[in-house]
Structure 1
Amino acid sequence: MTVVTVGVHIVDILTRPVDHIPPGQDTVLVDQIRLTAAGAAAGTAVDLAKLGNQVTSLGAIGDDELGDFLLMVMTRHGVDVSHVRRRPGEQTAASILPIRPDGGRPSFHVPGANLTVTPADVDPDILRTAKAIHLGGVDVTFGLADPAFFALLDTLRANGTIITMDLLSEMPDLLSMAKSFLPHVDYVLPNESQALLMTGAPTLQKAAEALLSEGPKGVLITMGDQGSLIFTTGQSPSEAPNQSTQTPPPEPAATMNPDDQPTKPRTEAATTDGHLTQTREAAATGGHSAKPPAEAAATDGHPTETRAEAATADGQPVQPLAEAATANGQLGEPRTEAATADGLAVRTPGGETVQPLAGEVVPALKTEVSDTTGCGDAYCAGFITGLLHGQDVLTAARWGTAAAARVATGLGSDAGITDLPSTLALLTNPTPPTNPTPPTNPTPPTNPTPPTNPTPQSAGQLRPADQPQPFS
């Protein structure tokens, strides 16, 4: 499948674990340091290639050493970067990410050449070859908001190309500008903070309603360890997209391929927005926020209630949305009404009313979390791959959830994912065994016979209190 990613290209420099910044010029020893290709276009492109797609990436980077590295590592993963533009005098966008022991990731970022991207950097002939186009980080590559570029996207959509859109920042001004892309895409994939900031809505349901009214046919809101919330218009999320052929998914691998990066076992949640919950039993989906970890906290600082939905053994069943949204947009106390209740009608730009608004939750998956960087990019890559294999929107969202869970197991946005079969294996075997099987007939320990006549201590011998003791 041919996919073109357009937008943000970043080099990430990551290290872990970091629990403090040392004062002065002190040195702290860490376990691991990596450089990776990242960003809503470059990171997604690498994951798409690992999942078996033919990928071309378009955007702008600096004419510097970081740019050389970025092109090299993307090429190594099988991405065509021959059309990425080099900007003399500009720096390649880069982030320094000190990863906390719990997987959280504050960020130091230089936007660099990403701010210079315009339609002149996007070859229309390359876009016309694509089965799917992913616009990664249009809130940062705002130079693409051009009528001619929008007209090209409309033509491509009319000819059957799937167009998806992801966001990078949580800056209200940039997110507001990104709304101009909504009438020209099929699916938009914000995290919950971005959805609320982009629309000014008080709840996620109202945010989805506002986003759908701008023109896309699907909104997938990632919600941390709560999974993702799927809204569509015109058809049920469980109906497959209109494609002439459907490619069956590959058979899942019998076992998961271990990540090539050593990690210590952990079962915190890799949240869909990049946050880590403090619970020990949790689940991972994709994410792309750079805020520090929180206890699955709502925006008012209070932890949300635990969801009752759970993925079954094959990862397929999904319950309809059954929680009420609180005033701050977080899911709160249980209720029985589905998200398709009356009052959530959507009026499209053409004036048609679509009733009801479908909303369903795709639960997150349990995984051992090392780092949440790039989980949102992986979610997008898995979702796009699912659509290209003829899957319906909900199943494609599950593929995205599995891809995000795989990335969370290693350090960096290109970690964890090796191929599509091992990624989909998480849907049938979401929790690998952590404890070895005990022996069936363990031999009971024997007690040594105490001496009946201990030898008296002679002069010059060490008393027990004088004996050298092991370090504690």
Structure 2
Amino acid sequence: MRAATNLGPVVCFGVHILDILGRPVSQIPPGQHSVIIDEIRVTAAGTAAGASVDLAKLGVRVQNIGAIGDDMLGDIVLTLLKDYGVGTELISRLSGQVTSATILPIRPNGERPALHAPGANGAFGISHVTPAQRSALLSAAGIHFGGLDAMTGLNPADLAELASAARARGAIVTMDVLRNGGVESLESLAPVLRNTDWFCPNDEQLLGLTGESDLHRAALRVLGLGARGVAVTCGANGCRVIDADSDVIVPSIEVSVMDTTGCGDGFDAGFLTGLLAGLSPVQAAWVGTVCGSLVATGLGSDAGITDLGQVASMLLDTANDDAKYAGERLRSKISNTESEVGGRE
């Protein structure tokens, strides 16, 4: 049982991946040898699916749009999402396609090399977008575009009109990317960025996409494309919230790191939750930073976060006025009733 809120609905549109993770893996054994490790898990991951799970954990009403294959891996992704209370009715199952999947041997220091099979994410195109999916986007309070750069069958320009219409109706629009792309990727994403409130890549991605060597200059490049602001995660250095008027550093939260898979998705979910709750971008970034830090404490992109009350308590324990205000605001959003969905911890 998880505390409910009145936040949402949110639509997470983008990449869905089944992650198979094991830890700790110092090296791959030679030949056909084997090695005993501590833990193996499977999670619904990817820049859209991973964020949706964390949003659901935070009590936000969320449903997903994207593509999986008509295979057993897709069945598992749907089961995992449903167990957390994510709406899956609008996820397309593409005939003849396999579900995107990644094998992640997690190193003892939390690093995560990846073996990836792209699958259905690259086959989803604008022709697959149904009237029901369009309706969900146009009625959403928040939209998170996750991993459009990895959806090679979809031209982001085809989504520009939908994103613009949703934003005009009051939706908060955020975007994150999956890959470390170059300037050509940023140019491709520009039609949607023009209709995005907050772009939320990590620092390496932002520098690569813009071709800049300085984060502030890189963020200004994105603002020049029409985005309202950039909330860029910087690993152990926290994040920076940059818009036309300010550049604010939000420090990291000290935790014991097990696995960094999905920390960006956790940040995205927390940041959007904060914005939906009426917080300022900097206050919302504190929520995102706490959520991203919590994800790092366990194995997989669904680790660490329990519920909104846990996040609010951590914020209230932080010696920063913006963090404390965010904690108070989030606590006020928690319903007295418990949600009947999303029971998995």
TM-score range, shorter chain: 0.7 to 0.9
Distance 2:308 2:45 in 1: 20
**Offset of residue 196 of structure 1:** 1.1
Q: 2:147 aligns with which of 137, 143, 150?
A: 137
CA contact (8 A) 1:402 1:424 kept: no
| 1:217 pairs with 2:228 | yes
Q: 1:378 aligns with which of 239, 263, 266?
A: 266
Which residues in structure 2 correspond to 1:36-435 (within 5 Å)? 36-122=43-129, 123-172=133-182, 173-233=184-244, 357-429=245-317
Gaps of at least 5 residues in structure 2 are 1-7, 320-345
> How high is the TM-score relative to the length of structure 1?
0.63
Distance 2:239 2:267 in 1: 10
More displaced, 184-193 or 392-401? 184-193
Distance 1:421 1:179 in 2: 36
CA contact (8 A) 1:175 1:197 kept: no
CA contact (8 A) 1:367 1:409 kept: yes
Larger-gyration structure (1/2): 1
1:416 maps to amino acid: G
CA contact (8 A) 2:163 2:192 kept: no
Distance 2:298 2:86 in 1: 21
More displaced, 48-57 or 170-179? 170-179
2:181 maps to amino acid: M
How big is each residue's C-alpha offset from its partner over 1:402-441, in whole Å with a ceiling of 9 and x where there is no partner? 111111111000011110110222223369xxxxxxxxxx
**Offset of residue 147 of structure 1:** 4.4
Distance 1:72 1:119 in 2: 25
Distance 1:177 1:212 in 2: 15
Q: 2:37 aligns with which of 11, 17, 30?
A: 30
**Offset of residue 176 of structure 1:** 4.1
In structure 2, the residue matched to 1:279 is none
Aligned-CA RMSD value: 1.5
> How high is the TM-score relative to the length of structure 2?
0.86
How big is each residue's C-alpha offset from its partner over 1:241-265, in whole Å with a ceiling of 9 and x where there is no partner? xxxxxxxxxxxxxxxxxxxxxxxxx
Aligned residues: 308
Distance 1:184 1:139 in 2: 16
CA contact (8 A) 1:145 1:181 kept: no
CA contact (8 A) 2:250 2:286 kept: yes
How big is each residue's C-alpha offset from its partner over 1:123-154, in whole Å with a ceiling of 9 and x where there is no partner? 21111221000000011124443545211211
Which residues in structure 2 correspond to 1:448-467 (within 5 Å)? none
1:206 maps to amino acid: R
CA contact (8 A) 2:253 2:293 kept: yes
**Offset of residue 75 of structure 1:** 0.3
Q: 2:9 aligns with which of 2, 22, 27?
A: 2
**Offset of residue 217 of structure 1:** 0.7
**Offset of residue 87 of structure 1:** 1.2
1:153 maps to amino acid: A
CA contact (8 A) 2:156 2:189 kept: no
How big is each residue's C-alpha offset from its partner over 1:255-304, in whole Å with a ceiling of 9 and x where there is no partner? xxxxxxxxxxxxxxxxxxxxxxxxxxxxxxxxxxxxxxxxxxxxxxxxxx
Distance 1:30 1:192 in 2: 31
Q: Classify the secondary structure of the residue corresponding to 1:60.
A: strand
Distance 2:14 2:270 in 1: 18
Distance 1:224 1:384 in 2: 19
Gaps of at least 5 residues in structure 1 are 234-356, 432-472
Distance 1:369 1:224 in 2: 11
Distance 1:394 1:430 in 2: 14
**Offset of residue 186 of structure 1:** 0.9
Bigger helix share: 2
CA contact (8 A) 1:169 1:175 kept: no
CA contact (8 A) 2:156 2:191 kept: no
CA contact (8 A) 2:159 2:192 kept: no
Greater RCO, CA 8 A, separation 6+: 2
| 1:11 pairs with 2:11 | no
CA contact (8 A) 2:262 2:301 kept: yes
